[in-house]
Amino acid sequence: MSEPDKFEDDLLYAMTRTGEGFRTEQGELVAGGLVRGRRRWRRRSAAAVVSGAAALALVGTGAFYLSGSTGASPVASATIGAAAAPTATGTTGTATPTAAQSSAAAPISGGEVLATFQALLPKGQVTDAKGTGTDKDGGRTAYANLVFDDGQGKSLMGLSIQKHRKGQSQPRTCPADLKLASLDSCATTTLPDGSQLVLSQGYEYPNHRATTKEWFASLIRPDGGEIFLSEWNSAQEKGAPDSRPDPALTLDQLKAIVTDKSWDRVVAAVKYDGVDPAVEDPGLTPEEKQATLAKLLPAGFQVASARNANGNVTTYQVTGGQTSGGLIVRVDYWGRPYDDKDLQQRAEKDRQAMFKDATTLPDGTKVAVAAADQVNPKASPARVEVLRPDGLHVQVVNGPGDKPLFTLDQLKAIATSPEWKLKK
């Protein structure tokens, strides 16, 4: 993949909050990499709202990650059996998961998440256990990490739970060439309830510079809940010798844990990790947006192709004479409130920061302009952000290149045009 294409993919990731778009030159390795990359991002990053302000800031970085503090509370050790009712102690409290403990909407502590996980494990010794519940980090994630030993050696395990709105879950696929993707096995299954299950046996390092294995199960449920469980044949993910030939749990055991109904309470308590796309839908079809852009391009330029990231963001390939390049356009609606008060507050804060130094036109339209970085214009191209009184938001960003496709004035003319109209 060319550097401009990679930049556009990374920017689209930032602008659409999905974690999509990171690709490599090796086609078949892409599929395996997507399984790994998306899963790692889900496990290691805190879900967050990425509104226009954040996307603007991300243009210079090409990628977006919010590393969340786990707020985990440690548990020294515990011995568990198949019929045991384990408890977890620490700053998150002590809890044994039962359906009667609290309503589905009540916060779930890290101790409860950890205890639920431990109750589903076979007989063995648990050490270095930590849990994070929905009473931390805004309630958009739940985690449990521990080291499990069934008598055959230690195995690190990490479990994470998030919840995506309809259409926001990341599809997980298996590569056609498992060898190229450095996987021993991979299978995707649609369960009777509509859940999407992926079971994979691979390695911590695709290039096999260490022999540490990593197996995982990923379940995306119809209600948007995603339960992800990884395990290693080592007490640490990296930098430690293998402690056993294979991770402790079989694929069937991984499946049994992520599909267990005891997670229903946790999933119900987890808040959605992103903005509902319907809230920001301007009601414009892709064809309508492309037709509008075509009318606004400088003379001699035309749209050669369009690639949608979602309903609101599109990257266009624009040509004019001997010149061609990418133009990323985002059109969405900011007038409808979110159903989550925390998301609403964070979005408003981001927007205020974005238009802090904006120019206000006579009709009340706010225009924020950022010139390309003089040192590295490829990494931070020119961009214009517009917010109209009716709530319509338009963002136009030059694609990367040695020479900018359009001037700042031309981008401003496109973004501020009255041709952009809300339809809902």
Residue located via tokens 């920017």: 11
Would you say residue 153 has pLDDT above 90?
yes
Range in 10-14, 95-99, 127-131, 158-162 the model is least confident about? 95-99
Q: Is 230 helix (H, G, I), strand (E, B) or coil?
A: strand
Higher local confidence (pLDDT), 409 or 49: 409
Would you say residue 171 has pLDDT above 70?
no
Q: What are the angstrom distances between the C-alpha of 301 and each of 305, 317, 324, 419?
A: 12, 10, 9, 17
Mean pLDDT of 193-206: 92
Mean pLDDT over each residue of the chain, to the nearest integer: 76
Would you say residue 411 has pLDDT above 60?
yes
**Residues paired with 225 in a beta bridge:** 163
Banded pLDDT at 318 (limits 50, 70, 90) = very high
Would you say residue 55 has pLDDT above 80?
no
- Position 170 scores a pLDDT of 62
Range in 38-42, 104-108, 303-307, 403-407 the model is least confident about? 38-42
Banded pLDDT at 379 (limits 50, 70, 90) = low
- Position 16 scores a pLDDT of 42
CA-CA-CA-CA dihedral for 357, 390, 341, 331, to nearest 10: -80
CA-CA-CA-CA dihedral for 341, 343, 344, 346, to nearest 10: 120
CA gap 342, 350 in Å, rounded = 12
Higher local confidence (pLDDT), 289 or 37: 289
In the 8-state DSSP scheme, what is residue 227?
A: E
Beta strand extents in 164-274 (DSSP E only): 183-190, 196-203, 213-220, 225-232
Positive or negative, the CA dihedral 367, 384, 394, 342 is: negative
Mean pLDDT of 214-239: 93
CA gap 329, 307 in Å, rounded = 11
Mean pLDDT of 298-321: 85
Max Cα separation, the chain? 74
Banded pLDDT at 51 (limits 50, 70, 90) = very low
At residue 190, what is the residue type? Answer: T
- Position 74 scores a pLDDT of 33
Mean pLDDT of 36-47: 37
Mean pLDDT of 108-124: 96
Would you say residue 179 has pLDDT above 90?
no
Mean pLDDT of 231-240: 90
Mean pLDDT of 322-340: 87
CA gap 347, 341 in Å, rounded = 10
CA gap 126, 75 in Å, rounded = 9
Q: In what order do the strands lie in the sheet containing 366-370?
A: 302-308, 313-320, 323-333, 392-398, 383-387, 366-370, 359-360
Range in 92-101, 108-117, 386-395 the model is least confident about? 92-101
**Residues paired with 220 in a beta bridge:** 196, 226
**How far is C-alpha 298 from the geometric centre of its chain's CA atoms?**
36
Higher local confidence (pLDDT), 419 or 68: 419
Mean pLDDT of 80-98: 33
**Residues paired with 216 in a beta bridge:** 200, 230
Question: In the structure encoding, which two tokens stand for residue 23, read together?
Answer: 């690709």
**How far is C-alpha 33 from the geometric centre of its chain's CA atoms?**
15
Range in 44-58, 195-209, 257-271 the model is least confident about? 44-58
Helical (H) or strand (E) element with 386: strand 383-387
CA gap 74, 352 in Å, rounded = 39
- Position 26 scores a pLDDT of 30
Would you say residue 160 has pLDDT above 90?
yes
Which of 294, 335, 286, 338 has its CA nearest to residue 312? Answer: 286
- Position 377 scores a pLDDT of 65
Banded pLDDT at 56 (limits 50, 70, 90) = very low
Percent of the chain with pLDDT over 70: 72
Positive or negative, the CA dihedral 375, 376, 381, 387 is: negative
Would you say residue 76 has pLDDT above 80?
no
Q: Is 404 helix (H, G, I), strand (E, B) or coil?
A: coil
At residue 306, what is the residue type? Answer: A
- Position 311 scores a pLDDT of 66
pTM: 0.60
In the 8-state DSSP scheme, what is residue 22?
A: -
CA gap 424, 420 in Å, rounded = 13
Which of 185, 186, 229, 182 has its CA nearest to residue 210? Answer: 182
Would you say residue 218 has pLDDT above 70?
yes
CA gap 398, 406 in Å, rounded = 7
CA gap 233, 157 in Å, rounded = 9
In the 8-state DSSP scheme, what is residue 51?
A: -
The answer to whether the beta carbons of residues 309 and 12 sit under 8 Å apart is yes
The answer to whether the beta carbons of residues 329 and 395 sit under 8 Å apart is yes
Would you say residue 47 has pLDDT above 50?
no
Higher local confidence (pLDDT), 60 or 171: 171
CA-CA-CA-CA dihedral for 337, 394, 66, 372, to nearest 10: -160
